[in-house]
Structure 1
Amino acid sequence: MNKRVKKYSFIVLCIIIVLALPFLYIIVKNIQNDLPLREYVKESLLRRVKTDIHRLFTFTGKDKLKLPELFLEIDEKAFAELDSLRSSKLELLNHQGIAHNEQSQWDYVNATLVVNDTLHAIKIRIRGDMPSNYNRGLENSSYRFNVESKTSVFGKKKLSMVRPFLENNFYGYLFSHFFEKEGFISNDILFIRLYLNGKENGIYFLQEGFSKELVESSEYREGVIVRFKNDCEDNNGTYNSTGVPELDVYSEGKTLKDSSLSKNYNRALFKFEALKSGKLGPEQCFNTKKFANYFALCDFFLAHHSYVCHNVKMYFNPINDKFEPIAWDPSNFVRYKIKLHVQPGYTNYSGEIYYKKESYPIHNYLYRDTNFLKEFNRYIYLYSHNDSIRNFLQEHYELIEAIDPELYRDRFQEKFNSSLILDNIKSIKNWFTTDNRLIAKIYRNEKILVVKSVNPLPILLTALKLDPEITVTINKLLLPYSSDTIPIDSGDPDTWGRKFSLSSVIYGMDSTKMKYKGVVFEKKDNINSVLISEIPDTTILSFDKRNKVVSFRKKNTAVQKSLYIPPGYRFIILPGSSIMLTNHANIICESGIQALGTPENPIQFQSDGTGGILIKNSELNSELNYVNFYNLSAPKDGNWEITGAVTFYDCSVHIKNCSFSNNKSEDAINIVKGNFSIDSCNFSNILSDAIDIDYGKGTLANSVISNTGNDGVDISSARVTISNLQLKNIGDKGLSGGEKAIVNASNVSIDKSLIGIASKDRAIVNIKKLNVKNATYPLAAYQKKPEYGPAIITCSNFSCDNKKYLIEQNSILVLNKDTVRGAVPAVFKAIYATK
């Protein structure tokens, strides 16, 4: 019997081989005759199979990488509720034949989460509109949760848990971390190991949600995060009756209840509507430099999915009064390179899709702005010619190698391949050197030049040479892949030669000169013309375009409407100048300011109590010396309002021998995200805080602060060195450090305040030689915000007339080398309940 089975088995096998031979022959011949296919099989398929076999059989449970562990507990009733909802969604998709559900249709349930032995009460729901987020059972679903208790998970209150393959494994991780490294607001992503109801559930991404913690951890002031409404789905080429998508805000309920956030949101809506109606240009609505950097990096990371309409997330900066990009959802890098199906347009570079407003509305505006185009080209050149991306990838290879085998066992995902990004960088670098930048023709009888760009970068046409003796200056901007018709004003066309050369540069980069050589024809083509220009207002200001200087036409100037100084200039105020701001007029400057008065001829900035000054986004340092600021208020325009009467945002400033008095704002001076020095300055009769430093780095020396309604010096998330500081009659805290600030101070005296020195929310305040008198609480260290932690004060050579220190549990005071560990509960409430 066994011999018969073997015999028949052999016969069947032979028949199968014989039947398969023609198919194998056809496959082999096709591979032999198709070079790309042959190379793919040799270089990719066989190598992939070999690598996958190695990855599959070399990983054991003992090789698991040590990752943060999260223990999620969902009770039986809530678990059943989530599963029922998930099943009904899948049935709806199958019944209606649609591709996805709306995320807003998912309901939250109660659950608990344990992280580092801390129990958190949370509300959790399924996350995602695409079925891939929930069609593999609850054990593999994506989740979004909010921390309801007065705690936080890794400093965050809103988070998601997603299987890494849904965020492109390492591609999504690297995208998020590199953009964060480059200074963008980017959702933090961590690899974590999840335990669901006591059972290990594998590796997840823990991804930060859209909340104030996201904004503040990126060193920005709290402001609204907006997105486009669902009407930006492309329905027959239109969004809605306006043709332009409408904005929506995250956490709408909280935003509308908070007066400051509500104003910020209304301001965002107002500015976007003004942009759509043509009342504002892109430069006034968007941080064009930041968007240029963002779009350039998306080109390098093949992350074009990130700025498709329904994925656009923007932060409206309450100080800068402009929209800024948030790095989010790069989509799948691998699909681009192996030509798998992706949505139309997702594989294109920025320069190939900017005109498609139905899918890319932000591009449609930004590509009209010349400053954006210059900065975009500059960033493309910068990242293609330096090693910052390559070095970043190398820094993460160790993590990739350690975690890849386990990810592969989980989903059999392709191994991370850095060449997808590195080869793309090489390809982009060629944009600057390719000979095929333009196609151009000249038609003699019509005296026109017809030109078309075939390059993804904006190009500036500079000169047209018609003959060895005839050269015409053009100075014409050509957008990527666009065409234009340019009249030629150069005498009798019969004197032109039969050939011409057209010189061009990549816009904003004179070192990229190139010549196109063509033939002069006789016939005319019909191609539309495009020309964009902006002219600054010069009624009060004088612009020296050659030396890039702007100044007031008169030393004594009354400003009755807000002034705007564009980027690229130096704003010079002459000694002895007196500037009076009235009728809510403000000075908004995106250039460096140089106001250098003298003891005999100081510079005066005054206001009727309604106007202020904002210096922002300048690459040039600002200098103030012998300048008096009197009766200023915070700049305000409709729903836009900032806190500082004088504000420096994202720029460097040196301030010496200046006075700030009688201000009518929350801060006399606010420095945000900049390097600074303040020396020999006087602050008096201040409505609220005198000096407010956010995310900056600098020094404060030899200065006096008196009669403030709130804090003398308020430092948040910054590094500041202080010396020789006197504070008198301070309404709240003399010197306050918060939100991971590091303050090193010496020779500080405080006379009359509620709190002398305050350190809160993981701040460290170090002081040598401190004298405090007439303070209710000379020293206080505590935690105010749940996403941070306890604080530290170290103090030596300290004297005071009152030893009522408030050191909260887990906070520390080191006083003359003696450590005092906190024992007081809820210090913040204890202080301000009695104020």
Structure 2
Amino acid sequence: MKFKQVQEQPSKTKPQSKSPYRLLVFQGIFLLAAFLAGALVYRAGFLTSLSAFVRQVLAEGPGSIQIQGPLAEVQENLTDEIRLYEENGLQTLFIDLKFEHYQKMLDKRAEALDTGILQTTDEDFTPVQVQLKDGPKLDGKIRLKGDWTDHLKGDKWSFRIHLKSEGQILRFRQFSLQTPETRNFLNEWAFHQNLMDEGILATRYDFVNVLLNGRLLGMYAIEEHFAPELIESQGRRAGVIIRFDEDLYWDNLTNFWQDGIHVDGGSWMTTNESSADITTFQGTKVDLDPVLKAEADAARALLRAYQTGERPASEIFDVELMGRYFALTDLWRACHGVYWHNWRFYYNPVTTLLEPVAFDNEPFQWCRQNASVSNEFIANSSLFNDPEIRAVYVRELDRITKTGYIERLQDQLGTRPAELESALRVEYPDETLTVGVDWDTLFSRQQSLAQELQPAKPVKGFYQASGVMAGDTAAPSLQVELTNLMILPVEVVRIEVNGTPLSLPADAEGTLPPVIDPEEAVFTPTYFTLPLADTSPWKELLPPQVDAIVRLSGLSTEFRAPLNGAATPDELLMGPLPASSSLAELLKKYPFLSASTDETSLLVAPGIWDVRDDLVLPDGIALQVSAGTALRFETGAVLLARGPVNLMGTASEPVILTAQDAQQGWGGIVVLNAEAESSWPYAKVENTFGIARGGWILTGGITFFNSPIRLEHAIIGNNQTEDAINVIHGKFAFIDSEFLNTFADAFDGDFVEGEIRGSSFHDIQGDAIDISGSNVTVTDTRLERIVDKGVSVGENSVITIAAVTMDTVGIGIASKDLSETHVTDTTISKARFSALAAYIKKPVFGPASIEATGL
């Protein structure tokens, strides 16, 4: 913004009118009261005038208001300060509070300063009006936020704001404001960008200028709260977020602090992740939605099972995301985010696992200089103690500590860090203070952690041979004792005697448990007995060289550890996902199944077969269904696979998956995290009635999650589910296929990429094609008798529609919420409401567009 500079004019002898003179006097009195007696301003009710004055300066430029005389210097200082902030490139947020509401916050702040801890409830919220510069005024509610009183220092306090209705600021409906230094300036922002780029949920984070009742407070960090927009903006299905309730923890602290006993914890009462209640964000709203309530119940049951130790963490949390989160947290030394009372978890309704939601991390601030996440928290959280999570942590740490990782992150962030650092320097000009991203420390951390993955000696051990000497009648064997010296699981690959490998017994546990707490290490040896086919090395003058060949779980690099000679209940099924069976169990249960020679696939013989119970395949196993096969599932049964499902029909001998009772239907097909593409030529899937088991509630009769799928000459329909087929986070191709007689939508694609070509959709009771956050092409396709929308394009999608015919539809093409729709050579007839519609459904996205030619 450019301000017009007003040149000082030479005085003239012509008398001035009384009106300008009075205006100048009024301005002088006003500025004197507003800027030299701030407390009086608040109590005298001048806030509205002051706010209007500042808005005028911001809107018209500091030079638009002229003061002469002694107060000119006051105006000059004010306009110089406003100009600095107005030119920092950040948006400006106005917060307006009535006197009595501001006084309520003052009283709450005084109470917190008295005890040393800020305790908040919903009763602390008070009405507020907020507005971005040039934006609409939005009503909401506001309260102070933060746990410790560092959030209440001076005049820059931290706030939590909830907006009413569809109001949003920077696409946030609920958000927090806090000083940039609270979370170590740009480091928190950069860490969040890194996490989101790695597929880990994190609160969106930015910076704004803030004025409270016309008073410029300076720059603030703005962070979204745990609302639905957080989930949906990052490619997840709408769902619930839960946490360990920390209220009891802070109540216990306050119990001591308010009496002047400043201790870090209660004396005899223990408050931690094991004793904390589990609560759901926006619990009242969730309880009113049957689907969300079921998901919340399942999520809390999972977290409760973790609390009580009924199930290992690896069966409750998404192991890949959790291990990756720990690794990135370690790289940024962001330990504060993994204290138990800062954990937040999203329940993924498709995988029925909990995912971390990162916030309040404070990189490079809380952890000791050389500490790692594991050193800091391994003794305090069984989450990191889970061997599978630690193995992923190691693998991810190996990946992110390789040369080039941080450099790629810098390239992705581009010029934005420099722009934000320049903005922060307006308020924090001290060059000795690091307000930008601390790249030097990040590179140093990377180098240090890379070295941790190259231990000098990961294990120590002893051996003793039996039955190798003359007169020893015992069977020749080698007893080995190994102790892990690492805080990470270590796999024993083999034992070598003079370089000759000895394999571990088939029933041996080859993974050594890690040291749980390096500060108070308790070492637990693991013992192996290996048969010796060759005893000659023990008949030499010198004893043989015995080595253990090991590697850190998750990595391939092997370490050689020389050994010293020495003298001397059933697991509970947790969660709604059905348990998988072994290959042997499946082959015994279903006579129509056979295993491939390499045991990577299950083959279904041609014929008509009835399937009782759920057919759940082991992880990574493919299912190959031969041409001329019909699988008839009993009511409610589900086909669940974590590998590709190939229905290999032909024109004369299609593959059919249906229900034994068409009136009752069957659950449907779910494919999770299959790396290889599923191929369905000449396949027919019908009579799916969906899955609703506790917290496992899917909208699709056919669901592909993070798994590619290709249909050719396939027929999908006659279903009773919200979506006949739902593809999430995957690639797809529907070629020359037919979708018919659906209960609601035919195809629902969420965050997908693919094409629909030469296909037909008819007699659809909802949308024929419904995509969100996706990139799709539809060509040479016919849509007929569609009750709702022929093509629904939502949530920042891009779609190309060419040579498509629509006949008898509700709305032909609907483009919503920042989506781009390109239409060519398409015919739409008998649209009951509209052939084309572009509109905003979710205000957090923005307007959509349609570009149509040859329509």
TM-score relative to the length of structure 1: 0.79
Q: Which residue of 2 aligns with 1:782?
A: 839
Instruction: Indicate whether 1:549 and 2:600 are aligned.
Output: yes
Offset, 1:439:
1.8
Q: Which residue of 2 aligns with 1:670?
A: 726
Instruction: Indicate whether 1:449 and 2:466 are aligned.
Output: no
Instruction: Indicate whether 1:350 and 2:374 are aligned.
Output: yes
Q: Which residue of 1 aligns with 2:333?
A: 302
Comparing 278-287 and 683-692, the one that deviates more: 278-287
Q: Which residue of 1 aligns with 2:128?
A: 111
Q: Which residue of 2 aligns with 1:568?
A: 620
Q: 1:477 aligns with which of 507, 511, 532?
A: 511
Comparing 753-762 and 659-668, the one that deviates more: 753-762
- Which letter does structure 2 place at the counterpart of 1:220? R
- Which letter does structure 1 place at the counterpart of 2:164? E
Instruction: Indicate whether 1:158 and 2:174 are aligned.
Output: yes
Percent identity of the aligned residues? 23
Q: Which residue of 2 aligns with 1:501?
A: 547
Offset, 1:362:
2.6
Q: Which residue of 1 aligns with 2:106?
A: 83
SS at 1:732 equivalent: strand
Instruction: Indicate whether 1:597 and 2:620 are aligned.
Output: no
Could you say which structure has the greater relative contact order, defined with CA pairs below 8 angstroms and 6 or more residues apart? 2
Offset, 1:332:
4.3
Instruction: Give the distance between the partners of 1:489 and 1:398, measured in 2 at CA.
Output: 60
Instruction: Give the distance between the partners of 1:779 and 1:504, measured in 2 at CA.
Output: 64
Comparing 579-588 and 232-241, the one that deviates more: 232-241
Offset, 1:267:
2.0
SS at 1:290 equivalent: helix
Offset, 1:514:
1.7
Instruction: Indicate whether 1:518 and 2:563 are aligned.
Output: yes
- Which letter does structure 1 place at the counterpart of 2:527? I
Offset, 1:62:
4.8
Q: Which residue of 1 aligns with 2:791?
A: 735
- Which letter does structure 1 place at the counterpart of 2:563? G
Summarize the Cα distance change of 1:242–1:362 in structure 2 as closer, same or farther, 3 Å threshold: closer
Q: Structure 2 matches for 1:218-237, cutoff 5 A?
A: 218-230=234-246
Summarize the Cα distance change of 1:141–1:72 in structure 2 as closer, same or farther, 3 Å threshold: same
- Which letter does structure 1 place at the counterpart of 2:495? L
Instruction: Give the distance between the partners of 2:347 and 2:597, measured in 1 at CA.
Output: 34
Given that 1:352 and 1:456 are in contact with CA atoms closer than 8 Å, whether structure 2 keeps it comes out as no
Offset, 1:584:
1.7
Given that 1:696 and 1:719 are in contact with CA atoms closer than 8 Å, whether structure 2 keeps it comes out as yes
Instruction: Give the distance between the partners of 2:615 and 2:342, measured in 1 at CA.
Output: 35
Q: Which residue of 2 aligns with 1:377?
A: 394
Summarize the Cα distance change of 1:456–1:171 in structure 2 as closer, same or farther, 3 Å threshold: farther
Offset, 1:437:
1.7
SS at 1:376 equivalent: helix
Instruction: Indicate whether 1:693 and 2:749 are aligned.
Output: yes
Superimposed CA distance per residue, residues 487-513 of structure 1 (whole angstroms, 9 cap, x where no aligned partner): 323359996435411111222433x01
Instruction: Give the distance between the partners of 2:524 and 2:248, measured in 1 at CA.
Output: 28
Comparing 204-213 and 113-122, the one that deviates more: 113-122
SS at 2:188 equivalent: helix
Instruction: Give the distance between the partners of 1:558 and 1:241, measured in 2 at CA.
Output: 51
Q: Which residue of 1 aligns with 2:96?
A: 73
Instruction: Indicate whether 1:124 and 2:142 are aligned.
Output: yes
Instruction: Give the distance between the partners of 1:545 and 1:144, measured in 2 at CA.
Output: 59
Instruction: Indicate whether 1:405 and 2:434 are aligned.
Output: no
Unaligned runs of 5+ in 2: 1-80, 250-264, 467-476, 516-522, 569-578, 588-592
Q: 2:802 aligns with which of 732, 735, 746?
A: 746
Unaligned runs of 5+ in 1: 1-58, 94-99, 340-346, 524-533, 799-835
Instruction: Indicate whether 1:640 and 2:671 are aligned.
Output: no
Summarize the Cα distance change of 1:579–1:484 in structure 2 as closer, same or farther, 3 Å threshold: farther
Given that 2:337 and 2:361 are in contact with CA atoms closer than 8 Å, whether structure 1 keeps it comes out as yes
Superimposed CA distance per residue, residues 115-143 of structure 1 (whole angstroms, 9 cap, x where no aligned partner): 14221112111111222112x14x31111
Q: How many residues align?
A: 707
Superimposed CA distance per residue, residues 213-244 of structure 1 (whole angstroms, 9 cap, x where no aligned partner): 00000011100001112389587999689956
SS at 1:789 equivalent: coil
Instruction: Give the distance between the partners of 1:108 and 1:242, measured in 2 at CA.
Output: 28
Summarize the Cα distance change of 1:120–1:411 in structure 2 as closer, same or farther, 3 Å threshold: farther
Q: Which residue of 2 aligns with 1:437?
A: 458
- Which letter does structure 1 place at the counterpart of 2:719? N
Offset, 1:575:
2.8
SS at 1:540 equivalent: helix
Instruction: Give the distance between the partners of 1:653 and 1:606, measured in 2 at CA.
Output: 19
Instruction: Give the distance between the partners of 2:190 and 2:128, measured in 1 at CA.
Output: 31
Given that 2:816 and 2:839 are in contact with CA atoms closer than 8 Å, whether structure 1 keeps it comes out as yes
Q: Which residue of 2 aligns with 1:43?
A: none
Summarize the Cα distance change of 1:562–1:305 in structure 2 as closer, same or farther, 3 Å threshold: farther
Q: Which residue of 1 aligns with 2:676?
A: 620
Summarize the Cα distance change of 1:302–1:84 in structure 2 as closer, same or farther, 3 Å threshold: same
Instruction: Give the distance between the partners of 2:548 and 2:319, measured in 1 at CA.
Output: 30
Summarize the Cα distance change of 1:565–1:331 in structure 2 as closer, same or farther, 3 Å threshold: farther
Instruction: Give the distance between the partners of 1:162 and 1:261, measured in 2 at CA.
Output: 31
Give the superposed CA RMSD. 3.1
Instruction: Give the distance between the partners of 1:261 and 1:283, measured in 2 at CA.
Output: 24
Superimposed CA distance per residue, residues 791-827 of structure 1 (whole angstroms, 9 cap, x where no aligned partner): 22222222xxxxxxxxxxxxxxxxxxxxxxxxxxxxx
- Which letter does structure 1 place at the counterpart of 2:844? E
Superimposed CA distance per residue, residues 352-390 of structure 1 (whole angstroms, 9 cap, x where no aligned partner): 744x3xx324334xx243xx4543332122111142323
Instruction: Give the distance between the partners of 2:430 and 2:314, measured in 1 at CA.
Output: 47
Given that 1:594 and 1:624 are in contact with CA atoms closer than 8 Å, whether structure 2 keeps it comes out as yes
Summarize the Cα distance change of 1:401–1:756 in structure 2 as closer, same or farther, 3 Å threshold: closer
Instruction: Give the distance between the partners of 2:354 and 2:221, measured in 1 at CA.
Output: 28
Superimposed CA distance per residue, residues 154-210 of structure 1 (whole angstroms, 9 cap, x where no aligned partner): 222111111111111122111111111222221111111111111221111111111
SS at 2:428 equivalent: helix
Given that 2:391 and 2:554 are in contact with CA atoms closer than 8 Å, whether structure 1 keeps it comes out as yes
Summarize the Cα distance change of 1:276–1:401 in structure 2 as closer, same or farther, 3 Å threshold: closer
